Amino acid sequence: MFDYLIVGAGFAGSVLAERLARVSNKKVLVIDKRPHIAGNAFDHYNEDGILVHKYGPHIFHTNSKDVFEYLGQFTEWRPYEHRVLASVDGQQVPMPINLDTINKLYGLNLTSFELDAWFESVAEKVDVIKTSEDVVVSKVGRELYDKFFKNYTRKQWGMDPSELDKSVTSRVPTRTNRDDRYFTDTYQAMPLHGFTKMFEKMLDHPNIKIMLNTDYHEIMDFIPFKEMIFTGPVDEYFDFKYGKLPYRSLEFKHETVHKEVFQPVAVVNYPNEQLYTRVTEFKYLTGQQHTKTSLVYEFPRAEGDPYYPVPKAENAELYNKYKKLAEETPNVHFVGRLATYKYYNMDQVVAQALTLHKKLTDKSKVAVAADGVDLLPKAVRAAFNGSSTKIGTHGKN
Ligand SMILES: Cc1cc2nc3c(=O)[nH]c(=O)nc-3n(C[C@H](O)[C@H](O)[C@H](O)COP(=O)(O)OP(=O)(O)OC[C@H]3O[C@@H](n4cnc5c(N)ncnc54)[C@H](O)[C@@H]3O)c2cc1C
């Protein structure tokens, strides 16, 4: 009998498998319907021997020392600061918008102080900021909104920014200095030998068994287990009882070209003319030396694998109904981006999984105490009765 059946071998499932096996000495079965571990962070060497990310570029960054040190047990790190350019008006300019972006785009020679005033002069007054459009036009005005955000957001989400929650564009900062790093987190690094190698080390423990190419529906009734950790889509778990939670999907077109370098930075965004949103050149992320170079083009799609929860109020309401069901389901713990219907970065999912592990350990301590002499006051025990996850939140990007 397994102590835990873990559905999904991405960050959420693998961190919990590792902690439960190594720290709590539990017997764990991890299953995934895909033919590999590492979930969306899966990377592999392609036919030309170049390390690529199958599901689009994954860049690790965090402000959490705990998360960084935890993962550091399973990998060495390669320092990497991510840089992005946007292709606008026939030029490639820094994104997020900074001092150089504006000077290059408009042929100006502004200083940081002058740029503040410049933004103020072009910004539109918006009384209550509700939508993604409001966020941008109130900061940088309509012209930059049109050049950098409007079509990009339309492509990415299949909706006009005026229909989308403000959270979508408020993640993208605007800078008046020349800092062209995409992220400003304290820890910015990539696993030296790739994400999949890191996951292999994490899951390498005699208490952990792994089954790939397996949907949990196929084995649920045949393999005995005490508790389940579910990191798949929460609506699927409940047979879409209240309807489907909407997701935006992507199609990835991978390509290898016969030149050493293709573009000046890891990612170039295409806000306007192209059907794809961005092009990534993997060698920047991995530091690999090779005479060829591999790229991925991202085409947003309405149908396909669930990647981005669509941030609209009605979807949050629908999710809340599933969340309630999840909270009422004994011995099943819902964790990760699909099970909690939220776009989380990798570090946030690791933090969420570590928090759940702590809660499970505390809960079993309470159970042990309850078997013998109950050392804890009733109120403390009551706090451990629910089985749903509390989210450990960390810096957003
Ligand atoms: C295009 C893209 C780019 C991203 N870039 C970054 C980035 O640069 N930096 C960053 O920090 N984060 C990034 N992320 C977010 C990152 O992918 C997630 O934070 C991370 O993958 C979440 O891990 P998870 O375990 O919750 O989910 P997943 O990695 O999706 O793992 C869930 C697993 O469950 C499995 N599963 C689902 N249903 C079933 C079932 N019925 N039976 C069995 N198995 C099942 C799936 O196959 C999957 O492997 C990006 C996401 C996307 C989509």
Q: What is the DSSP secondary-structure string of 83-129?
A: BEEEEETTEEEEES--HHHHHHHHT----HHHHHHHHHHHPPP-SS-
Would the CB of 231 count as within 6 Å of ligand 1? yes
Residue 189: φ, ψ to 5° = -165, 160
C-alpha distance across the termini of the chain, in Å: 41
Residue 293, C-beta contacts closer than 8 angstroms, at least 6 positions apart: 50, 256, 257, 259, 260, 261, 262, 281, 282, 283
CA of 291 to the centre of ligand 1 (A): 31
Would the CB of 10 count as within 6 Å of ligand 1? yes
Residue 4, C-beta contacts closer than 8 angstroms, at least 6 positions apart: 16, 17, 20, 26, 27, 28, 29, 225, 226, 227, 228, 229
CA of 51 to the centre of ligand 1 (A): 19
Both structure tokens of 109? 């020679």
CA of 346 to the centre of ligand 1 (A): 8
What is d(CA 89, CA 286) in angstroms, rounded to the nearest whole number? 30
What is d(CA 285, CA 43) in angstroms, rounded to the nearest whole number? 12
Q: Specify the pLDDT at position 243.
A: 97
**Substitution candidate for ligand 1 out of 285, 346, 389 with most atoms within 8 A of CB:** 346
Would the CB of 150 count as within 6 Å of ligand 1? no
CA of 337 to the centre of ligand 1 (A): 7
User: Which residue's CA is minimally distant from atom 46 of ligand 1?
Assistant: 8
Q: Specify the pLDDT at position 369.
A: 52
Would the CB of 280 count as within 6 Å of ligand 1? no
Would the CB of 6 count as within 6 Å of ligand 1? no
Would the CB of 96 count as within 6 Å of ligand 1? no
CA of 41 to the centre of ligand 1 (A): 7
Q: Specify the pLDDT at position 384.
A: 34
Q: Specify the pLDDT at position 338.
A: 97
Would the CB of 39 count as within 6 Å of ligand 1? yes
Report which of 359, 353, 348 is spatially closest to residue 397, judged by C-alpha positions.
Answer: 348
Residue numbers of the chain with a pLDDT score lower than 70: 171, 366-397
